[in-house]
């Protein structure tokens, strides 16, 4: 009997990576239906390549067999990017997890896509170097996923996001060929910036197989403090005040009163209870520069009506303050059966206004929405507390999501600051991106992936182009 097309495909994969590196039993597929937020369909198979050569052959096989191919890191994405709506093949990079080199002379590292963000940070620190991009999922998320989402984090305020550190990429395009962009050069204007094109492309243009990142010297010292405010507007105003004073904090994280309440109940004593808003500010610099910087932050807060609540005396206290920030996600998870975590970005001067608008939207829809985020960058995470089993509450939550996006766009903001569009936000792309810009994006997609096999159903809105 001739093997079915499905069996032939699985055998073909086994010939490339070895049978032990192909999963296809239905019971093993179910965990791949999810990422950090979305639920998709089970893939037909999951393959674990060991190098770029194997990835190239996998892409060729998927293209011949007409199978969608979905790259996957740790699956912590928050926009459905690593899930599939229509079967297909998931390429899991857990075997491509080597830090190939760290060069102190060039202050650069070359890593495989399956390297965990925190492992790179630690390896760089071992050489007295610093890799700043720090998504809160640092302990599990991969560099491949970070590049594909252009992930950010608290330190984005001073240092920038993943894309600001990627110097070069090696990737496999939909025709199964190897594409090399950039390199170790800090300056490189030889033609179009293809590295930047692939950063943030969410696995829809190419499959990343190696990443060269730039590193910085470790900051000499840091200082961490908490400031409290009587309103989110006042906390937001402080962000603008700091900018007006040319104060460059490493991180400026905001939490509204609902977030403070949730964290307080999860980690008692970690935050000033009853605060309407809190800013966590971390400063970097030579030790003697920190105190004068901190005084200027306090002045900026005072202008907006805020005050210092806690100043970390040492590293242990600094970590305790950050523990409160890290506790947000688990603490919100306990407050309601379902949490819809969103991600919008507004100009830093509009942070307070945006959070106030979100609270109005919550009240108008009889919902609770906790808001926190990277205020220094204007990147906010409204988290709607709801219950998937309650149809009416979920419908109100959907209305609230649409209202939040509309408000962000009205304030000159954008649909996503770091989580990407994926499948969960694609329907809003026509509202959030200029028509011509969307058409150019489609042209790029068609050029690099004419048959649409790379991560289909992501970024672009459904329906006619
Ligand atoms: C608790 C929590 C906190 C978070 N905090 C932050 C935060 O502070 N900042 C932030 O930006 N994000 C944050 N995230 C979201 C998420 O962690 C990031 O988007 C991260 O970059 C995803 O990495 P991953 O390895 O999990 O990728 P996955 O979720 O597996 O994949 C994400 C996308 O990358 C693509 N992809 C993966 N590997 C490759 C590759 N080799 N080539 C091409 N495409 C690839 C996938 O197809 C998918 O589209 C958080 C998530 C959680 C659950």
pLDDT tens, 14-30? Answer: 999 999 999 999 999 99
Q: What's the confidence (pLDDT) of residue 2?
A: 55
Report whether residue 421 contacts ligand 1, using a CB cutoff of 6 Å: no
**128 HSE (CA, 13 A, CB side):** 4
> What's the CA gap between 326 and 408, in Å, rounded?
25
Q: What is the pLDDT of residues 334-387, one digit of tens each?
A: 999 999 999 999 999 999 999 999 999 999 999 999 999 999 999 999 999 999
Q: Closest Cα to residue 139, out of 113, 118, 162?
A: 118
Other C-beta atoms within 10 Å of 319: how many? 12
Could you identify the residue written with the tokens 């100043």?
311
**Full-model pTM:** 0.97
Average pLDDT for residues 135-153, to the nearest whole number? 97
Average pLDDT for residues 275-304, to the nearest whole number? 96
What would the two tokens of residue 243 be? Answer: 């900018």
- Ligand 1 centroid to Cα of residue 150, in Å, is 9
> What's the CA gap between 45 and 32, in Å, rounded?
10
CB 251 within 8 A of CB 311: no
Judged against a pLDDT cut of 50, whether residue 1 lies above it is answered with no
Judged against a pLDDT cut of 60, whether residue 225 lies above it is answered with yes
Average pLDDT for residues 261-285, to the nearest whole number? 96
CB 210 within 8 A of CB 170: yes
Q: Closest Cα to residue 283, out of 246, 251, 317?
A: 251
* Closest ligand 1 atom number to CA of residue 153: 8
Contacts of 281 (CB under 8 A, 6+ apart): 224, 225, 226, 227, 249, 251, 252, 253, 297
Judged against a pLDDT cut of 50, whether residue 328 lies above it is answered with yes
Report whether residue 134 contacts ligand 1, using a CB cutoff of 6 Å: no
Bridge partners (DSSP) of residue 208 are 171
Judged against a pLDDT cut of 80, whether residue 308 lies above it is answered with yes
Q: Closest Cα to residue 136, out of 326, 321, 341?
A: 326
What would the two tokens of residue 321 be? Answer: 């303050």
User: What domains appear along the chain, each with residue ranges and CATH number?
Assistant: 5-92 (3.30.43.10), 99-217 (3.30.465.10), 219-333 (3.30.70.3450), 336-444 (3.30.70.2740)
Q: What's the confidence (pLDDT) of residue 321?
A: 97
- Ligand 1 centroid to Cα of residue 38, in Å, is 13
Ligand 1 pocket test: pick from 33, 35, 50, 82 the residue with the most ligand atoms within 8 Å of its Cβ: 82
Q: What's the confidence (pLDDT) of residue 67?
A: 97
Q: What's the confidence (pLDDT) of residue 463?
A: 81
Q: What's the confidence (pLDDT) of residue 465?
A: 75
pLDDT tier, 3 (very low <50, low <70, confident <90, very high otherwise): low
Report whether residue 455 contacts ligand 1, using a CB cutoff of 6 Å: yes
CB 65 within 8 A of CB 110: no
Report whether residue 143 contacts ligand 1, using a CB cutoff of 6 Å: no
Q: What is the pLDDT of residues 378-423, one digit of tens each?
A: 999 999 999 999 999 999 999 999 999 999 999 999 999 999 999 9
What would the two tokens of residue 414 be? Answer: 């954008």
Judged against a pLDDT cut of 60, whether residue 310 lies above it is answered with yes
The helix/strand/coil state of 361 is helix
Report whether residue 73 contacts ligand 1, using a CB cutoff of 6 Å: yes
Judged against a pLDDT cut of 60, whether residue 164 lies above it is answered with yes
pLDDT tier, 110 (very low <50, low <70, confident <90, very high otherwise): very high
Q: What's the confidence (pLDDT) of residue 224?
A: 98
pLDDT tier, 4 (very low <50, low <70, confident <90, very high otherwise): confident
Mean pLDDT of the chain: 96
Give, in degrees to the nearest 5, the angle at Cα 168 between 125 and 206.
120
What would the two tokens of residue 116 be? Answer: 């965990």
> What's the CA gap between 385 and 336, in Å, rounded?
5
Q: Is 96 left (phi over 0), alpha (psi -120 to 50) or beta?
A: beta
| 268-272 contacts, C-beta under 8 A, 24 or more apart | 270/320, 270/321, 270/323, 270/324, 270/327, 271/226, 271/324, 272/226, 272/228, 272/309, 272/310
Judged against a pLDDT cut of 80, whether residue 98 lies above it is answered with yes
């Amino acid at each position: 009997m001739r093997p079915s097309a499905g069996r032939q495909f699985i055998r073909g994969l086994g010939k490339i990576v070895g049978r032990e590196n192909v999963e296809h039993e239905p019971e093993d597929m179910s965990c791949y239906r999810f990422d950090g937020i979305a639920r998709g369909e089970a893939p037909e198979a999951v393959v674990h390549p060991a190098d770029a050569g194997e990835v190239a052959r996998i892409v060729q096989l998927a293209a011949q067999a007409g199978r969608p191919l979905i790259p996957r890191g740790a699956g912590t994405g928050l926009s459905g990017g690593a899930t599939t709506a229509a079967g297909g093949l998931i390429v899991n990079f857990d075997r491509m997890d080597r830090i190939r080199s760290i060069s102190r002379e060039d202050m650069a590292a070359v890593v495989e896509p399956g390297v965990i963000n925190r492992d790179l940070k630690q390896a760089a620190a071992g050489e007295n170097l610093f890799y700043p991009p720090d998504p809160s999922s640092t302990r599990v998320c991969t560099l491949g996923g970070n590049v594909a989402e252009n992930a950010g984090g608290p330190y984005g305020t001073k240092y920038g996001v993943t894309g600001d550190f990627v110097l070069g990429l090696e990737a496999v395009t939909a025709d199964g060929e190897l594409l090399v962009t950039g390199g170790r050069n800090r300056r490189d204007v030889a033609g179009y910036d293809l590295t930047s094109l692939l950063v943030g492309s969410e696995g829809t243009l190419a499959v990343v197989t190696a990443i060269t990142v730039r590193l910085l010297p470790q900051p000499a010292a840091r200082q961490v403090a908490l400031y409290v405010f009587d309103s989110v507007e006042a906390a937001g105003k402080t962000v603008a005040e700091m900018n007006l004073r040319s104060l460059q904090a490493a991180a400026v994280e905001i939490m509204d009163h609902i977030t403070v309440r949730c964290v307080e109940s999860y980690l008692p004593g970690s935050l000033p209870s009853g605060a309407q808003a809190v800013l966590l500010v971390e400063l970097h610099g030579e030790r003697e520069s920190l105190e004068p910087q901190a005084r200027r932050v306090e002045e900026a807060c005072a202008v907006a009506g805020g005050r210092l609540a806690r100043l970390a005396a040492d590293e242990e206290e600094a970590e305790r303050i950050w523990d409160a920030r890290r506790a947000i996600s688990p603490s919100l998870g306990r407050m309601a059966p379902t949490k819809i975590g969103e991600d919008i970005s507004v100009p830093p001067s509009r942070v307070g206004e945006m959070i106030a608008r979100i609270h109005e939207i919550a009240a108008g829809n009889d919902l609770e929405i906790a808001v926190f985020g990277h205020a220094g960058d204007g990147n906010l995470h409204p988290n709607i507390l709801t219950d998937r089993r309650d149809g009416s509450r979920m419908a109100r939550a959907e209305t609230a999501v649409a209202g939040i996006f509309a408000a962000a766009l009205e304030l000159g903001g954008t649909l996503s600051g770091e989580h990407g569009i994926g499948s969960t936000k694609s329907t809003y792309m026509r509202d959030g991106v200029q028509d011509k810009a969307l058409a150019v994006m489609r042209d790029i997609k068609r050029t690099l992936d004419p048959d649409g096999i790379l991560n289909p159903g992501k970024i672009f809105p459904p329906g006619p182009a």
